[in-house]
Amino acid sequence: MPSADEDGRRGIDGARRIYLDHAATTPVDPDVMAAMLPYLSAHAGNASSLYLEGREARAALDDAREDVAAVLACDAAEVVFTGSGSEAANLAIRGVAWRAHDEGRRHLVTSAVEHHAVLHTVQQLERRHGFAATYLPVGADGRVDPADVLAAVRDDTALVSVMYANNEVGTVQPVAEIAAALADHPALVHTDAVQAAGSLSLATPELDVDLLSLTAHKVYGPKGVGALYVRRGVRVAPQIVGGSQERNRRAGTENVAGAVGFAAALTRADAERAAGNAANARLSGILIDGLTGLPQVRLTGPAERRLPNSASFVIEGVDSEALLLRLDAAGIAASSGSACTSASLEPSHVLLAMGIPADIARSSLRLTTGRSNTDAHMRHAVDIIAEAVAQLRRKTDAAAAVSMA
């Protein structure tokens, strides 16, 4: 195999590495780290304390909230800091569901391709707490039809939750169209925008949603901090109780350093969105052009209206796990889908919902680009993947020949 170019990142063993799993997580930006450090050391006060150190922490938290709100084009009071994107989604769904439950509205609508932070939350409410749920189908490109959403809602529908962009195949959903279609319905609208941050506009007046969940670690911020936009006037039942933090919506001592890092990362990502999208589209284009030229390899998700850093494939006749192990050994970090389900042997629920047969869905490969990548990396990655695929297919053919002998 050709050696990686000199710009390649070194892994912990000193070998050159090409990181192609930015949808799973991103490294913390050095400027973000620098912004956080004072609130982990010299200014590490509790933001709920009244003395100087507490007031300093409160001021930093308020500034971070204002900065996140600026990206969302909302009021700072509408931003709730959480411990992750999953917690933000749980707060949105459970928080609305429990408020609506007492009013007799116990129906939820979501799509079949949501992240498990949404799907598992809805399923638990359905199975254990007496809610009804409708799971919307998607087309072959993974897209939800707004007409299907409108047809699914009922008089007792409390919430519609459709993700902004899919974390496995990059499909961008028509969230604003869905919200517009429901303008005259009392159901609230939530969107999981975790994967969209840094690639799509998060301006809530444009999306017209009631709730929007985010996390920091997808935009070169720290892990362990997320946020939920809650439109003014929308009430959510807190899911973590024990204090009055976050305007009584999320108890617990505030993660000031995390919030500061989140705000710094999100602000930069949004400011550089156009340039980043152009670079990522070029990088992913090299991957798509190179890999779809191989036999029995096809792109999953739409050709258009997909996240610019997303290139996902099914490679027939090749087991995903075997391929990923070979790529890792060759210096490429990649995945077969969501990092949250990477230990599962089951085929992706997203690919199955898109109509891809289970045996082919088990041959999935997700490559997502980012700031550390170059054109040379992409060309090198295509060469390595092509060789790994050929080797695995030869191995499969040889095993089949032996079994038939």
Is residue 340 annotated as part of the catalytic site, yes or no? yes
Q: Rounded CA gap, 303 and 45, in Å?
A: 49
Residue 12: which pLDDT band, with cuts at 50, 70 and 90? Answer: very low
Q: Rounded CA gap, 307 and 140, in Å?
A: 16
The pLDDT of residue 168 = 97
Tens digit of pLDDT for each residue in 271-285? 999 999 999 999 999
Number of helices (H), then strands (E), in the chain? 14, 13
The pLDDT of residue 346 = 81
Identity at 291, one-letter amino acid code: L
The pLDDT of residue 316 = 95
pLDDT over 70 for what percent of the chain?
Answer: 92
Domains and CATH numbers, the chain: 9-20+273-404 (3.90.1150.10), 30-271 (3.40.640.10)
Q: Over 50: is that where the pLDDT of 229 sits? A: yes
175: three-class secondary structure by DSSP: helix
Catalytic residue among 133, 180, 340, 360: 340
Q: Give the number of other Cβ atoms within 10 Å of residue 269's Cβ.
A: 23
The pLDDT of residue 47 = 96
Residues 6+ apart with CB under 8 A from 258: 36, 81, 216, 222, 224, 225
Tens digit of pLDDT for each residue in 369-403? 999 999 999 999 999 999 999 999 998 767 666 66
- Average pLDDT of the chain, as a whole number: 93
